[in-house]
C-alpha cells in the first residue's frame, strides 16, 4: 500500500478525536462514538486519493461527485441514496463507492454494516434492472471498509447463539476483524460489489495493513479501471 494511503487512514483517527473533543467542549453528548464522525470530514483525505486514482483511470474530473455534492442515486425501495463517490463518463455511471470506518462497538457495527452494504446493493441493482440508472453498461459498485485494530476488535468473539440452526463455522473462533474480513470477502465473491477494499489500522503503532491481497487497494482500483476500459471498448465498437 502506498504511503499516502496509510497517512490518510491514520489521519482519519486524528480528525475523529478532534471532532469528539469539540463536541465535549460544546457540551454536546452523542450516543456511542457518533460524536467522532459528526464533522463528516475524517475520510476526506482518503476520498481525494481515490478520486485522483479514478481520474488516472480515465474518469474526467467533471464526472466525479463526492463530499456530499451530487452523490445521490435513485433507489428502487427508496427514493434516493447518497454514495460517497460517484464517477460518470458522459451520462453513464461508471462507479459508485461507499466508504465505511469502524472504530468501536464492533458487534453492533458488524451487523449494521452488513445490513447496510447488502441492502444498498440490492436497492441499486433493482434500480438498474428497472431502467433508473444507466442505459448501456452496468456500473461497478465499490465498498471500502477500515477497521481499527485494538484489543476489542482483535479478541476472539463470543460463540454465535444457535437456538435453531448452526452458524457458518467460518465465524467461529475468530475476532471481529476476522468477521469483517469475511464480510468483505463475500461481498466481492458473491458479486454484490465489484470492487472491495478491506484494511485494518492500528493508530497506536502507526500501522496499516491489508490482510487479503484480493481485498487490497490495488485490486480495488484495478476493478474500477477494468470497468472503465470495458466502457471505452464498447463505445469504440460503434
More confident residue, 19 or 41: 41
What's the mean pLDDT in 14-33?
A: 56
Threshold 0.85, pTM exceeds: yes
Distance CA 180, CA 103 (A): 12
Q: Which of 205, 221, 229 is CA-nearest to residue 5? A: 221
Name the pLDDT band for 38 (thresholds 50, 70, 90).
Answer: very low
Of all residues in the chain, the percent with pLDDT exceeding 70 is 87
Residue 84's nearest CA partner among 118, 40, 127 is 40
Q: Where are the domains of the chain?
A: 51-236
Strand partners, 69: none
Alpha carbons 70 and 58: distance in angstroms, whole number: 20
Over its C-alpha atoms, the chain yields an Rg (Å, rounded) of 19
Average pLDDT, integer, range 192-205: 96
DSSP state of 164: S
- 114 close to 127: Cβ distance less than 8 angstroms: no
pLDDT of 181 strictly over 90: yes
Is-contact 144 100, C-beta < 8 A?
Answer: yes
What are the tens digits of pLDDT across the range 139-171? 999 999 999 999 999 999 888 889 999 999 999
pLDDT band at 39 (very low <50, low <70, confident <90, very high): very low
C-alpha cell at 23: 463536541
- The string of DSSP codes covering 84-150 is SEEEEETTEEEEEEEEEEE-S-HHHHHHHHHHHHHHHHHHHHHHHHTTSS-SSSPPEEEEEEEEE-S
CA distances from 118 to 62, 95, 112 (A): 29, 17, 10
Average pLDDT, the chain: 88
Count of H-run helices and E-run strands, the chain: 6, 8
32 or 170: whose pLDDT is higher? 170
Amino acid at each position: 500500500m502506498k504511503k499516502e494511503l496509510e497517512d490518510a487512514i491514520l489521519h482519519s483517527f486524528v480528525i475523529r478525536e478532534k471532532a469528539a473533543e469539540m463536541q465535549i467542549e460544546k457540551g454536546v453528548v452523542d450516543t456511542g462514538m457518533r460524536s467522532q464522525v459528526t464533522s463528516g470530514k475524517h475520510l476526506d483525505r482518503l476520498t481525494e486519493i481515490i478520486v485522483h486514482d479514478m481520474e488516472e483511470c480515465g474518469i474526467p474530473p467533471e464526472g466525479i461527485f463526492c463530499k456530499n455534492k451530487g452523490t445521490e442515486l435513485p433507489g428502487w425501495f427508496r427514493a434516493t441514496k447518497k454514495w460517497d463517490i460517484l464517477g460518470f463518463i458522459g451520462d453513464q455511471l461508471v462507479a459508485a463507492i461507499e466508504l465505511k470506518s469502524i472504530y468501536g462497538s464492533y458487534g453492533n457495527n458488524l451487523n449494521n454494516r452488513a445490513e447496510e452494504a447488502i441492502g444498498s446493493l440490492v436497492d441499486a441493482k433493482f434500480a438498474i434492472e428497472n431502467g433508473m440508472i444507466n442505459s448501456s453498461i452496468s456500473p461497478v459498485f465499490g465498498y471500502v471498509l477500515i477497521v481499527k485494530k485494538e484489543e476489542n476488535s482483535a479478541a476472539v468473539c463470543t460463540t454465535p447463539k444457535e437456538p435453531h440452526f448452526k452458524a457458518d463455522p467460518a465465524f467461529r473462533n475468530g475476532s471481529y476483524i476476522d468477521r469483517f474480513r469475511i464480510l468483505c470477502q463475500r461481498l466481492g465473491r458473491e458479486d454484490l460489489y465489484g470492487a472491495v477494499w478491506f484494511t485494518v489500522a492500528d493508530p497506536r503503532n502507526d500501522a496499516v495493513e491489508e490482510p487479503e491481497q484480493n481485498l487490497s487497494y490495488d485490486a480495488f482500483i484495478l476493478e474500477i479501471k477494468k470497468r472503465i476500459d470495458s466502457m471505452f471498448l464498447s463505445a469504440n465498437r460503434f
